[in-house]
Amino acid sequence: MKRIYIPGDVIDEPVAKSLAVREDKGKLYATVVGTVEGKSFIPFELAYIPVVGDAIVGIVYDKKPSVYFVDTNSSYTGLVIARDLRGAELDVGDVIFAKVKKVEEDSIVLGDIKILQNGKIMSVPSSKIPRIIGKGASMLNLIKDATKTVIYVGANGYVWIAGKDVGKSVKAINAIIEKAHLSGLTDEIKQMLESD
Amino acid sequence: MDVELFKDGKRLDGRDVEDLRKPLKLEVGVLQKANGSAYMEWGKNKILAGVFGPKEAIPKHLANPERGVIRCIYTMSTFAGLEDHGRMGPNRRSIEISKVMREALENVVMLEKFPSTIIEVYVIVLQSEGGTRVSSLTAAAAALMDAGIPMKEPIAAVAAGKAGGKVILDLNKDEDNYGEADVPMAFTKSGDIVLFQMDGKLSKEELETAIDYGWKGTEKLFELQRKAFEEEYSEPLDKKLRMVE
- Report how far residue A67's alpha carbon sits from residue A52's, in angstroms, rounded to the nearest whole number: 19
Size of interface A-B (CB pairs under 8 A): 119
pLDDT of the residue at A99: 96
Query: What sign results for the dihedral spanned by CA atoms B87, B88, B90, B95?
Result: positive
Q: Structural domain tally of chain A?
A: 3
Q: Which residues contact A7 (CB under 8 A, 6 or more apart)?
A: A29, A30, A31, A32, A33, B108, B145, B150, B151, B152, B153, B154
A181 and A144 within one domain: yes
Among A74, A89, A116, the domain boundary falls at A116
Nearest-5° Cα angle at B32, B61 to A47: 50
CATH of the domain at A61: 2.40.50.140
- Report how far residue B39's alpha carbon sits from residue A90's, in angstroms, rounded to the nearest whole number: 44
Q: How far is A74 from chain B (nearest CA, A)?
A: 6
Q: Does A188 fall in a domain? A: yes
pLDDT, average across residues B81-98: 82
Q: Report whether pLDDT(A111) > 80.
A: yes
Yes or no, beta carbons of B53 and A75 under 8 Å apart: yes
Q: Does A110 fall in a domain? A: yes
A141 and A79 within one domain: no
Helices A185-194 and A166-179, packing angle to 10 deg? 160
A124 and A188 within one domain: yes
pLDDT of the residue at B244: 47
| A149-178 confidence digits (pLDDT tens) | 999 999 999 999 999 889 899 989 988 888
The residue ranking higher by pLDDT, B243 or B117, is: B117
Of A6, A49, A121, the CB nearest to B145: A6
A interface test, pick of B107, B108, B153 with most A CB neighbours within 10 Å: B153
Q: Is A124 within 8 Å of A157 (Cβ atoms)?
A: yes
A63 and A97 within one domain: yes
Of B36, B54, B235, the CB nearest to A75: B54
Q: Report whether pLDDT(B153) > 60.
A: yes
Q: Report whether pLDDT(B14) > 80.
A: yes
Of A1, A7, A174, the CB nearest to B241: A174
pLDDT of the residue at A1: 66
Q: How confident is the model at residue B237 (pLDDT cuts 50, 70, 90)?
A: confident
Specify the CATH class of B16-230 in words: alpha beta
A151 and A178 within one domain: yes
A137 and A84 within one domain: no
ipTM of the complex: 0.87
Residue-range definition of the domain harbouring residue A166: 120-194
pLDDT of the residue at B241: 47
Q: Does A94 fall in a domain? A: yes
Yes or no, beta carbons of B152 and A29 under 8 Å apart: yes
The residue ranking higher by pLDDT, B219 or A193, is: B219
A106 and A59 within one domain: yes
Q: Report whether pLDDT(B171) > 70.
A: yes
pLDDT, average across residues B154-169: 95
- Report how far residue A162's alpha carbon sits from residue B211's, in angstroms, rounded to the nearest whole number: 59
Q: How far is A183 from chain B (nearest CA, A)?
A: 11
Yes or no, beta carbons of B153 and A1 under 8 Å apart: no
A38 and A59 within one domain: no
pLDDT of the residue at B238: 62
| B16-75 confidence digits (pLDDT tens) | 999 999 999 999 989 888 889 999 999 999 999 999 989 888 898 999 999 999 999 999
A131 and A69 within one domain: no
Q: Which residues contact A27 (CB under 8 A, 6 or more apart)?
A: A10
- Report how far residue A10's alpha carbon sits from residue A28's, in angstroms, rounded to the nearest whole number: 6
- SS3 state at A141: helix
Q: How far is B58 from chain A (nearest CA, A)?
A: 11
For β-strands A40-43 and A34-37, DSSP reports them as antiparallel
A124 and A110 within one domain: no
Q: Does A49 fall in a domain? A: no
A184 and A124 within one domain: yes
Query: Which 54-93 residues of chain A touch chain B by CB within 8 A?
Result: 74-75, 77
Q: Report whether pLDDT(A2) > 90.
A: no
A150 and A132 within one domain: yes
Q: Does A3 fall in a domain? A: no
pLDDT, average across residues B117-141: 95
